[in-house]
Every structure is written in structure tokens, then in C-alpha cells.
Structure 1
Amino acid sequence: MQVTMIDERTYAQTMTDMVVPALEQCRTEGWFAPATAERAAGLEPLVGDVIGDSGSHPGQLHYLCYDAAKFDAIREEGATATFRGAVVISHGFTEFAEKYDELVWYFLLAGYSVCVLDHRGHGKSARNVENRCMVWIDDWRRYVVDLAAFAQTIGQQYAAGMPLNLFCHSMGGGIGAAVLEQYPTLFDKAVLSAPMIAPATGMPLGVARVLVGVLCKLGFSHKRVFGQGDFTPEFSMKGNEGASEARERWYFKLRCENPEYQTYCAAFEWVRQALKLNRAILSPSACSEVETPILLFQSGRDIWVLNKPQNRFVELVKDGGGEATIVRFPESRHEIFSMPNSTFRPYLEQILKFYDDPMIASASY
């Protein structure tokens, strides 16, 4: 479908004056209790948050949902007014639900309700470390169980019998890939945007596994990874050269205004679990379980995740009888949705075409 993109020259004004107010009129904020699903999966629930909204919602996960019917009632220009189902968004490392407001806006215009879960340790969700800037997780399977349970309940509620689709980015893409393997009939279609099938560690993955494993055993599990720092309120495009500065400044503004959004570095245990997730995802037997058609977007200038494991994942899914296609943006940075409109537009149009077209799963781009 034809998409009218937000003009980057007036980006902040448009977000402030039009997009955010419209989203607020159709948004529901909620808290999801994952304990029952985690126990069923053999995981002991984590409670007793160190920071976050532990007083009112101990151990719970924060989410934002956007109702397509309420959005259509606003009568925004460009809205299809045709309900197509729901999209569950699985965000990336150190991100938060509100960062996806622009993408949510486009999904709503296209007729989709949207549900965004703050993964554990992110945004306003429960976390178990003292440093609000650091992300820690004890077991990668917790991410997977939580996302699946959220989609099975809140996501299906918003889909209302129509297709339930998945959009995930980076770390959220690794989590999403594992969900597709373990819950093969949960989603109708899935977009994996620069997914963390394997993180970029600066060294061979095997060496990283051994090193991080030793450090965690030596008591560094809750320590910040060497060379990483806490969030500081100083804007910079370093590492994001070529991205849309207007979008990057908007995300930065959100971080500055919300202490809960200032996650910025990894604990050693998070890295250890990311590497365990990588090994689990690329199991041929796990990949053969995937039934959901997948569209995987790859960033040619990615410095955060590795491209070759993404290729391997798609190969294994196809070898197992599944449907998976790679679309590569050679000049894009890791966050394709943070690039200028000249890149973001074709990316978004392909996502919407994939979701909308019942025959697109067997097509190539």
C-alpha cells in the first residue's frame, strides 16, 4: 500500500502535534503478570524488583496497546478504516514500547491494532538490578515464555479473530525467532528486522561463550560489560551515521524525559544468555518446527548483530519446510526504521505488503 511518511524536516512537531495525541486517544496502558506462564514452563517467577514500579506491579511486565477501531474513529487522513488484525511488537535491546510510536502510527493507518510489550528489564517492566541503565536476565527462556504468553492473551484479544502478526527487531527478533520455533501456530506472519540471531561480540562466538561463562562463574553476572557505560544526556550520532537525525533526536528526547527508558548497557549474564539463545535458535530441529511465514530484513551496515547467522537461520527454516525470505538493505544501519524516509518507506511498504497479501509468503523481493 502507498504510505505517507512523516516529513523529517518537521518530524518533532508532527509527532508532538499529531501522532502522539492521536495515539493517546486509542491507547491502553497495562501490566501483564507472567508468573503462571513461567511456572508452566519450569521457570521460577522473578519478583522483588530492585527498581521500577515495584510498589504497584511487582514482577509484572508493562505494555501499551492501540485499538484500531478507536483510531479509526478519530478519522485521521490516510487511515484505511478496514480492520486487518493485530501486530505484536517485540522491541530490541535497551529499547522501550514508546520508541515505536511512529511505526505504531503506520500500522494503525493500515488497519492493524498494535500491542507492544516492554521486555523484562526494559522500560517500565520489572527488573532485578540496582543500576537502572543496565539490562540483566537470568534465563533467555523467560523472554520467550513472556512474549508468547502476552501474545496468546492480550495479542489475541486485540486481533479479535483476525490475523495476529509479529514484528520484532534486534534482541526482540532473537526472542521472536525462538517463539516461532516453540509456538509454531501462534502468529500468522512474522517480520524479523535485523534480528539478533547472534550478537556481535567483537570476537568469535565460541571464544565469547567461554570467556563470558568464566566471568559469570567468577561473580560478574550482575556486573556491566567492560567498555560499556551508563546513559548520559549528551546527544550524538556516533555509530548511527546515515540514520535520520530527526528520528534519533526524538528517541533521545524520550530517554532524557523518562528515567525508565535509560537502559543503555548489558550485564555479563545478559550476554551469556544471548549466546545461549543463539545456539538454541540455530538448532536444525528447532528451525524445522517453524510454520509461520517469515520476512527477514537485513542491514548491510549492522554493527550490533551478525548477518551470517541470519542467513543460516533462513536456510535452516527453509530446509525444514518453512517459508522464509531475506530482504537486504545494503546501506542501512541496524535500525532500518530509524533511517531516512528514502530507506524507511520501501522497508515499511514491504512489511505492509507482506502482512496484507495472502499470497506473499511464496513470493520473492
Structure 2
Amino acid sequence: MHHIYHANTDNENQLFFQVWQPSSKPKAVICLVHGIGEHSSRYHEWAEQFVEENIAVCTYDQRGHGLSSGKRGVIGSYEQLMNDIDFALEEIKTNFGDIPCFLYGHSMGGGEVLNHLISRKSNYLGVISTSPWIVTQEAPPKILIPFLRALANFIPSFSIKTSFDAKKLSHIENVWIKYNEDELIHHMVSFRLFVDAYDAGYYILKNSNKVKKPLLLLHGNADQITDCNASRIFSEKIVNYGTHIQYDKAYHELHNEFCHQKVFADILNWLNARLAENK
């Protein structure tokens, strides 16, 4: 079953939600947070694979993305993104009750779920983060960051259009074609969004000791968008809670890559192990 709806957050921002669920009671539910510039419908086929394993998926278009409200690529603060995750988790609690929940994020969403794991309290059993934005491969020189920070404070909602090569997402040509033809995808980034996400990445690296729940961190070692070495460094600091897997020669979108079946199997095995521990 597939259900869509809009919901107003506490600050009146309207988020577009999608829920995929099996016909019977699911054994778990995933809260999925997408990456920058994209939207939740790009995960339709990926979500259906979890449904076939009796796992529901609840996701939403982030503010300023897809069918949610807000100027494209603009946020008031990173805390708003954390609040939106809290809002989505409350939606899941309302719709699914006490069914075990997992938080799953990709790219910028992967960085968001790591920050949520570190900075917020929640009842989810664990976190899955794929190709997280901890450090970006094409970040501007550090000498420019104070200048960008000043711009973020002076004109926080001003956005610039970034150049992007869709071939960096995956080795699969059809992925690039669909991405480039998708009218809901945008390439706008505000100074506030970039600076806050940049700072959030280094906050993750400095606060690994605050990870107190199971974490599955997945990254392709040929990712040209986010830095797989940052994921490795972070995972080495959380050996008691983290499981880290690198995929040889894989690009950014592991769920759309040549290794996607292995990625799905790894996620499913880890998730089922966490469910077994929770019994």
C-alpha cells in the first residue's frame, strides 16, 4: 500500500509525506530522509523492496524540496531539519504505534540522521546512514568559510545554483537520465544551508562519543560527492556501536548503484539483527 499526504509542522511549514507499507502488520518501520536537491519519490522502488520484507517506509520531502513548502534550497537553521525529523518520527508513532523504528538518511540526509543520533533523544532502535555529508569532496577552501559564514548571517536566504554532474551518482546510465529529466530536482543552495551542513559535518566528527545506539554506516570508496574517508574515520571512533561497510568502486547513490542488491542485503541483515536483539 502507498499513501501520500501533506502535514503542517509546528512552524506552519508543510511537508509532503509518503508511506509504503505491507498489507499485514509490519515488523519494523523506516523513517527515510533524502539528500540535498532531490525528493522522496526517487526512493519509490527502494522502499518497495523493504515492503516485500514486511518493513514499512515513511519518508518526506525536506523543506525547500520536492512537493514540500519553502524556497528551494533554503533553511532557517539546521535545527529546523532536526525538528522535521522529530516531526516525522511523531507521524510514525501516530500511524504505527510501538512497531520498532529505524532512522535512515542518505547524503545530506545521512549527515542529518547522524546529527540527530548525536544530539536528540529518540526511541528508534538504530540509524542507517548512506554516503553521509560529513565532509564534501568539493567543499570550498577553508580560507573562504569565514566569508561564507558572514554571507549566511547577512543574506541567509540568498541561494545560488550549483553545477552538478549526474554521472557522479551512479555507474548506471538510466540513473543519470532520470535524474536530469526529473522536474522536482533542483540545484539551489542557500549560504545558510551550506554553512550549517558544513558545520554539522565537523560536529559529527567531534562528537562520536555521544553515539549510544546501533549505527550502520555505508559508503562507496569511489564516491566523488561526499568523502568516504570521513565516514571511515568516524566509524573507527564508534566501534562499540557502529558497523561500517565500504563498497569497492561504488559511487554516491548506493541504492541506485551496481551493488544495490548487496547494499540492500547488508541493510536487511543488520536491521533483522537489531530486531532480534530487541526481543
TM-score (norm 2): 0.89
Instruction: Give per-residue Cα distances to partners, 1:240-272, cap 9 Å, x unaligned.
Output: 4x522233434444x23xxxx132231222111
Alignment partner, residue 355 of structure 1: 271
Segment drifting more, 261-270 vs 343-352: 261-270
The yes-or-no answer on 1:123 pairing with 2:46 is no
Which residue matches 2:3?
28
Q: Which amino acid aligns with 1:212?
A: L
Inter-partner Cα distance in structure 2 for 1:326 and 1:289: 17
Counterpart of 2:159, as a letter, is K
1:216 aligns to what? Answer: 152
Match of residue 111 from structure 1? 54
Who wins on radius of gyration, i.e. which is larger?
1
Distance 1:61 1:207 in 2: 36
Aligned residue for 2:83?
Answer: 145
Measured against aligned partners, the alpha-carbon deviations of 1:313-354 in whole angstroms (never above 9, x if no partner) come to 223334xxx5002100120111111113xx111111001111
SS in 2 for 1:114: strand
Conservation of the 8 A alpha-carbon contact between 1:197 and 1:309: yes
- Write the mapping of 1:1-365 to structure 2, written as runs, cut at 5 A: 26-35=1-10, 45=11, 59-69=13-23, 83-127=26-70, 129=71, 134-151=72-89, 153-204=90-141, 206-217=142-153, 219=155, 221-224=157-160, 228=162, 238-240=167-169, 243-253=171-181, 255-256=182-183, 261-284=184-207, 287-318=208-239, 322-340=240-258, 343-358=259-274
* Alpha-carbon distance in structure 2 between the residues aligned to 1:157 and 1:279: 34
% identity of equivalent residues: 19
Q: Is the 8 A contact 1:93 1:172 kept in 2?
A: yes
Q: 1:187-209 CA distances to partner (integer Å, 9 max, x unpaired)?
A: 112211001122333444x3342
- Cα offsets for 1:48-74 (capped at 9, x unmatched): xxxxxxxxxxx21111112222xx6xx
Secondary structure, counterpart of 1:192 in structure 2: strand
Matched to 1:145, the amino acid is N
- Whole-Å Cα distance in 2 between the matches of residues 183 and 294 of structure 1? 15
Return closer, same or farther for 1:200/1:136 CA change in 2, 3 Å cut-off.
farther
Q: 1:201 to 1:138 in 2, by over 3 A?
A: farther
Check whether the contact 1:354–1:360 (CA below 8 A) recurs between aligned residues. no
CA distance in 1, matches of 2:177, 2:276: 35
- 8 Å CA contact 2:102–2:126 kept in 1: the answer is yes
Aligned residues of 1:193 and 1:297 also touching (Cα < 8 A): yes
Aligned twin of 1:75: none
The 1:268–1:183 alpha-carbon spacing in structure 2 relative to 1, beyond 3 Å, is closer
SS at match of 1:282: helix
- Seen in structure 2, the aligned counterparts of structure 1 residues 212 and 68 have a Cα distance that, compared at 3 Å, is same
The unaligned stretches of length 5 or more in structure 2 are none
- Counterparts of 2:273 and 2:267, CA distance in 1: 10
Per the alignment, in what secondary structure is the counterpart of residue 288 of structure 1?
helix
From the superposition, tell whether residues 220 and 33 of structure 1 become closer, same or farther in structure 2 (CA, over 3 Å). Answer: closer
CA distance in 1, matches of 2:118, 2:272: 23
State the TM-score, normalized to the length of structure 1. 0.69
State the number of aligned residues: 277
Q: In the aligned structure 1, how far is the partner of 2:179 from the partner of 2:27?
A: 28
In structure 1, C-alpha distance between the alignment counterparts of 2:106 and 2:41, rounded to whole Å = 14
Moved over 6 A (4+): none
User: Shift of residue 172 of structure 1?
Assistant: 0.3
SS of structure 2 residue aligned to 1:266: strand
Going from structure 1 to structure 2, the CA distance change for 1:275 and 1:350 (only over 3 Å counts) comes to same
Compared CA separation, residues 172 and 237, structure 1 to 2 (3 A)? closer
The alpha-carbon deviation at position 303 of structure 1 amounts to: 1.8
